[in-house]
């Protein structure tokens, strides 16, 4: 869901053949421990300001009014999501794909959720001409304790290897 939302602002959506696209929907689920707490004589308190600051809770008793408000919020988020996709990808038939379902590469392409299929390796190979391909790595700076520990570890390992080599050499004399 969120991944597709971010992707659809791009100029082009390129998906791998087995990429999963779509999932234009909203889900919220939560357990409710109210009866378990009540059965074990455990109180739960929640303090909020604003009638709908917290609609459903996992510890308190939920009301039908709170459930209706929660569902209305989810429906509103879904509508905003579909509107966002429609405005950024007008080629998508949002009523057909805004159901929460997902599709793999080729099926997603057929539904205009992607513009073409291509693996990341193939994409890089396509663009080798005219560009410099560089690899960037980040290596965290080690503290002096880590450096000392690493040096000690390497020294012990070198000594151990010499000892093994010496033992092995003596066996064949």
Q: Catalytic amino acids?
A: 1, 53
- Residue 57 burial by CB count (10 A; 0-12/13-18/19+): exposed, middle or buried? middle
Strands (E) across 97-148 are located at: 102-104, 116-117
Distance CA 125, CA 146 (A): 39
Distance CA 99, CA 93 (A): 11
Phi, psi of 69 (to 5 degrees): -65, -45
- Output helix, strand, coil percentages for the chain, rounded to the nearest 5: 45, 5, 45
Distance CA 21, CA 118 (A): 14
């Amino acid at each position: 869901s969120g991944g597709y939302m971010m992707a659809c602002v791009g100029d082009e959506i390129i998906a791998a053949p087995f990429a999963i696209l779509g999932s234009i929907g909203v889900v919220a689920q939560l357990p409710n421990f109210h009866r378990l707490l009540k059965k074990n004589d455990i109180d739960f308190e929640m303090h909020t300001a604003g009638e709908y600051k917290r609609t459903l809770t996992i510890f308190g008793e939920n009301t039908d009014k709170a459930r209706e408000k929660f569902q209305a919020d989810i429906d509103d988020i879904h509508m905003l999501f579909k509107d966002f996709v429609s405005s950024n990808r007008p080629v998508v038939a949002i009523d057909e794909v805004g159901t929460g379902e997902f599709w793999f590469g080729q099926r997603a392409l057929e539904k205009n959720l992607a513009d073409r299929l291509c693996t990341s390796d193939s994409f890089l190979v396509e663009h080798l001409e005219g560009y410099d391909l560089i690899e960037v790595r980040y290596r965290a700076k080690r503290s002096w304790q880590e450096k000392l520990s690493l040096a000690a570890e390497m020294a012990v390992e070198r000594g151990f290897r010499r000892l093994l080599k010496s033992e092995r050499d003596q066996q064949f004399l």
